[in-house]
Amino acid sequence: MLGFVVPIKSPKVSSSWESVSIIFERTARSICQQTYPDFKVVVVCHEPPKIDFTHPSLEYILADDLPIPETWYHKRGDKMHKVIRGIRHAKALGCSHIMLVDSDDCISNRLVEYMAGKTDSPGYFFNKGYFYNDNSRTLRLVPKRFHKICGTSHIINSKFYDISDAELNQLPNLVDAQSKLPKHIYDLYCTHGRFVEAVQAKGGTLEPLPFAGSIYILGNTENLSVTSPSYRQRRQRNRQQALSVKDMLVKFRDNVLYRRPLTQSLREQFGIYDVNLPTSPLFGPSR
């Protein structure tokens, strides 16, 4: 059985709880439209989002005992704690594999069926995926290293998630920096760019999924990555710098060669539909 774990931020640190709820409902619908029924969805949150959608495989785990994070680093630690709680609950439900899903992304409806009968497999990373700006009529193929960019990009055998009660009890509730965490915990529970190496360190080898497994949704301020200090610095720097020839070629490749129409088939496979969000202070009105 495949377990999907979805951590959600507290409404007290959201710029718009309405947006969080609208976006998460699309994610929940996307996950639950799997073509094979052997899955569970564990949502870990301070407070459940306000949505109308329900599903027999969807459940919420309250983490209202966690402190409300104040800084971006605290928010990342909050997400890690919710991920760990969700994984432990999914394992208790009997899930042989775990997939972490960001609460604003969409996934292929083929994943559970593909994993059926692969109980002993170490798991997979998503080498291919898509970038999508909300309400656009196109998306962009990412043909390689997608798992290094998007957090919704790994299916991992639950046996590798073996954090002990003693280790868990030693983790600070508020994580101020990477250095506050043991490396093996940081690599496997906190930073998706290290998941492949973290599993390898435990004796497993993740294989590339042979098809695009998820869509990384861009263009909303509720995504933790786009509110990070480093992201804001890069964005400001890019505005101020002239494009080099290499930069222009990359933009041409991304916007022309890798651009794909959002067909009805892709909408159905990934559960993508338009959403009407409040005005974003970072990106402006949703388009």
- Tell me what pLDDT residue 244 has: 74
Distance CA 88, CA 168 (A): 11
Phi-psi region of 98 (alpha: psi -120 to 50; beta: other; left: phi over 0): beta
CATH of domain 2-270: 3.90.550
Closest CA to 254 of 125, 106, 138, 108: 138
What b/e string do you get for 56-68 counting C-beta neighbours within 10 Å, with b at 16 or more? ebbeebebeebee
Q: In the predicted model, is pLDDT for residue 86 greater than 80? A: yes
Residue 64 tokens read as 């209202």
Q: In the predicted model, is pLDDT for residue 117 greater than 90? A: yes
Mean pLDDT computed over 8-32: 97
Give pTM, 2 decimals: 0.88
- Tell me what pLDDT residue 228 has: 53
- Tell me what pLDDT residue 173 has: 84
Mean pLDDT computed over 134-161: 97
- Tell me what pLDDT residue 146 has: 98
Summarize pLDDT for 24-52 with one digit per residue, the tens: 999 999 999 999 999 999 999 999 999 99
- Tell me what pLDDT residue 222 has: 65
Distance CA 80, CA 68 (A): 13
- Tell me what pLDDT residue 44 has: 99
- CA-based Rg of the chain, rounded to a whole angstrom? 18
- Tell me what pLDDT residue 58 has: 99
Distance CA 101, CA 215 (A): 11
Question: Average model confidence (pLDDT) for the chain?
Answer: 90
Q: In the predicted model, is pLDDT for residue 152 greater than 70? A: yes
Distance CA 19, CA 276 (A): 9
Exposed / middle / buried, residue 170 (Cβ in 10 Å: 0-12, 13-18, 19+): exposed
Q: What is the DSSP letter of 198?
A: H
Rounded (5°) CA angle 148-114-57: 90
How do the domains of the chain map onto residue ranges? 2-270
- Tell me what pLDDT residue 233 has: 54
Cβ neighbour number for residue 232 with a 10 Å cutoff: 13
